[in-house]
Amino acid sequence: MTVLPYADALAAYDPVLGLEVHVELNTTSKMFCGCSTEFGAEPNTQVCPVCLGLPGSLPVVNAKAVESAIRIGLALNCTIAEWCRFARKNYFYPDMPKNYQISQYDEPIAYAGWTEVVLDGEIYRIGIERAHMEEDTGKSLHVGGATGRIHGADYSLLDYNRSGVPLIEIVTKPVEGTGAKAPEVARAYVTMLRDLLRALGVSDVRMEQGSLRCDANVSLRPVGTSSFGTRTETKNVNSLRSVERAVRYEITRQAAILASGGRVIQETRHWHEDSGITTPGRNKETAEDYRYFPEPDLVPIAPSREWVEELHETLPEPPTVRLKRVRADWGFSELEMRDVVSAGAVNAIEATVAAGATPQSARKWWLTEIARHANEVGVDLEAVGVTPQQVAEIQALVENGTINDKLARQVFEGVIAGEGSPAEVVTARKLAIVSDEGALAAAVNEAINANPDIVDKIKSGKVQATGALIGSVMKQMRGQADATRVREMILDKIG
């Protein structure tokens, strides 16, 4: 696949984004029946005639899901419809047994909103077209192929546990004027949305489990023009970093096509995490293909203004206000906060501080040690496998002198590798600092005896030479000694 270098693409073309985010609500039951929504159960154990689409079954709307939809709409500054209906979106797919999905079409519950994201200290306003309610489909599992896709598979399995789980689809208006920052703005938007939805308490927002999913629409137009180019919609983008990478890749791919006089095809594309490219999916359906019509089995939704007003009172603080507040609370510099925001670490740090760590130590671990693991594996921070609680525990072990920063890195490694709690890893890997003065003194003596030339230097006033002896002691102690104490002991001994 030919791509244009990113800088060349941006010199000639202006990207326009459109982001569609599907969020699975964390209601205990499904959108239109009483089945459980618990993730990870045995396949097809959480199903009933309604979510299996059996003839004669009738859906009933989950009031809690409507409440969550309204709160999401309000948090995104949307107008809440006084009256709206569900619609049938007709298409065939094996994981959708009714052959239509109950969704909303021209009457979404929330519309015409906006939100803001902060990137590198700048605020970008993102228009929200709509937030509507719908049900999730089941899941297909293609067995036997190399890629996990249907092509080349021997057979497919279907799991309808997810069928009918409440979803909210949040659609932005075209996002213009981001220029070269488009990929990062896309990532910042999804990060902000994730944090906001979590603060609302309406979803688990776990991208790696699919409870938050993003489709990224990208189109290009020649710099200086205003009409939109043909867009593609990239699916399968299941981490924050993939959002950024997928948008960046599409910009360079489309630019190469346009620069060579070609035409971008309007289509759905798939993102491939491993190779970092998108490949064509199906040609994009238009609304007519879905033959939408109002769902005759459900009554319209007409939330009272009093109820909407009540729900308004339950909203968390807006994202930009929250960022200002936590920066002040944590005493971070503008630059420190920028890094935290772009790493998507605000929630993680907040939770780590709540678990007892200082803001600076929480920032340090999330942005260095954990970020390094996340990069190596290619996942988001929160999918690395260490919890804020554990980060706080490791920091507490540093502060009470059980380990030092260097040993803490090994504790992180162990926790991430699934070896147990921080304390268990310290014990199992024998990482605790040796505070046994006898053992330390023996190591100090050995270092002194083995390095008479260095001892002479120290005696003649070159105190900085102590470093070499400390190093020798630390080596003997496998790093498990308190360097300050070792230094004291050496100087006592020689002095």
SS3 475: helix
Helix (H, G, I), strand (E, B) or coil at 281: strand
Nearer to Zn ion, 3 or 50 (CB): 50
Report which DSSP code applies to 46: S
d(CA 487, CA 495): 12
Q: What's the min distance (Å) between Cβ of 47 and Zn ion?
A: 6
* Pick 33 or 323: Cβ nearer Zn ion: 33
- Minimum CB–partner distance for residue 317 and Zn ion (Å): 36
* Closest distance to Zn ion from the beta carbon of 53 (Å): 10
The residue range among 31-39, 196-204, 221-229, 349-357 that interacts with Zn ion, by the rule CB under 5 A, is 31-39
Nearest-approach distance from CB 49 to Zn ion, in angstroms: 7
Select the span of 29-37, 196-204, 209-217, 362-370 touching Zn ion (CB under 5 A).
29-37
CA angle centred on 25, ends 20 and 27, rounded to 5°: 165
| Cβ closest to Zn ion, residue 33 vs residue 384 | 33
- Pick from 23, 32, 22: nearest CA to 59: 32
Site for Zn ion in 439-458 (CB under 5 A): none
Q: Taking CB under 5 A as the rule, which mask of x and - marks residues 364-403 in contact with Zn ion?
A: ----------------------------------------
Q: Looking at 21, 35, 170, 311, which residue binds Zn ion (CB under 5 A)?
A: 35
For 385-406, give one letter per residue: b (16+ CB within 10 A) or e: bbebbbbbbbbbbbeeebbbee
Q: Which stretch binds Zn ion (CB under 5 A): 43-51, 80-88, 282-290, 347-355?
A: 43-51
Total of chain residues touching Zn ion, rule CB under 5 A: 5
Two structure tokens written together for 286? 């238009």
As measured in angstroms, the least distance from the Cβ of 21 to Zn ion is 25
Q: Tell me the residue ranges of DSSP E strands in 223-300.
A: 232-237, 267-272, 277-283, 293-294
Nearest by Cα to 104 from 190, 191, 169? 169
AA identity, residue 224: G
Minimum gap (Å) between residue 98 Cβ and Zn ion: 12
- Taking CB under 5 A as the criterion, which residues in 205-234 touch Zn ion? none
| Number of Cβ within a 10 Å radius of residue 41 | 12
Q: How far is the CB of 137 from Zn ion (least distance, A)?
A: 13
Q: Which is nearer to Zn ion, 35 or 192 (CB)?
A: 35
Question: Of the ranges 41-49, 196-204, 220-228, 359-367, which one interacts with Zn ion (CB under 5 A)?
Answer: 41-49
Query: CB-wise, 48 or 298, nearer to Zn ion?
Result: 48
Cα pseudo-dihedral 128, 133, 135, 139, rounded to 10: 10
Enumerate the H helices of 260-370 as residue ranges. 305-312, 319-330, 334-342, 346-354, 359-365
- 42-50, 209-217, 283-291, 315-323 -> range binding Zn ion (CB under 5 A): 42-50
Residues whose CB falls within 8 Å of the CB of residue 413, separated by 6 or more in sequence, listed in order = none
Provide the minimum distance between the beta carbon of 36 and Zn ion in the complex, in angstroms, as a whole number: 9
Q: CB of residue 150 vs Zn ion: minimum separation in angstroms?
A: 26
Residue 216 structure tokens: 């990224």
CA-to-CA dists, residue 141 to 60, 155, 157, 236, 404, angstroms = 29, 9, 5, 15, 46
Query: Which 45-104 positions form the footprint of Zn ion (CB under 5 A)?
Result: 48, 50-51
Report the residue number, 48 or 465, with the smaller CB distance to Zn ion.
48
Inter-axis angle of helices 182-200 and 319-330, to 10 degrees? 90
Task: Point out which span in 9-17, 27-35, 296-304, 335-343 binds Zn ion (CB under 5 A).
Answer: 27-35
Q: Would you say 160 or 271 has its CB closer to Zn ion?
A: 160
Q: Which of 17, 33, 243, 433 binds Zn ion (CB under 5 A)?
A: 33
For residue 78, the minimal CB distance to Zn ion (Å) is: 29
CB 484 within 8 A of CB 406: no
Which positions touch Zn ion (CB under 5 A)?
A: 33, 35, 48, 50-51
